[in-house]
Amino acid sequence: MAYIGLTIRNSEAIQAAISLMVFPMTLTSSVFLPAHSDHARLAANLRRSPTHHHHRQRAARTHPRPRRLPAGYTVIGETMLALTWTAGILAVSAPLAVRAYRRNNN
């Protein structure tokens, strides 16, 4: 989001660009839809989503009635996947944002 904000000058265009990224990620996450959907392509995308791993490990740890993870999955494994996604997104986006910031301030 910082990179988009630094590269686009118009505030309405920034809002539109961010909405184009955020809404599909949010609405196709397992937070709103079950990951065992009837549509195979949608279910595959849900299981690969960064929010899916975070939601599943959080539900397994903090839900009043802890939910069971599927066979072969652990809370630690889901936590590591969520952290890996976070680190990967930061590894790509932080250098881009820093470069855009330096370009704008020179």
* Band (54; pLDDT cuts 50, 70, 90): low
Please give the tally of structural domains in the chain. Answer: 1
Which domain does 16 fall in, by range? 2-105
Distance between CA atoms of residues 54 and 85, nearest Å: 9
Average pLDDT over residues 13-30: 79
The residue among 84, 35, 39 whose CA lies nearest residue 55 is: 35
List pLDDT tens digits, range 71-106: 777 778 877 887 888 899 899 999 999 999 999 887
Element (DSSP H or E) covering residue 47:
helix 40-48
- pTM for the complete prediction? 0.58
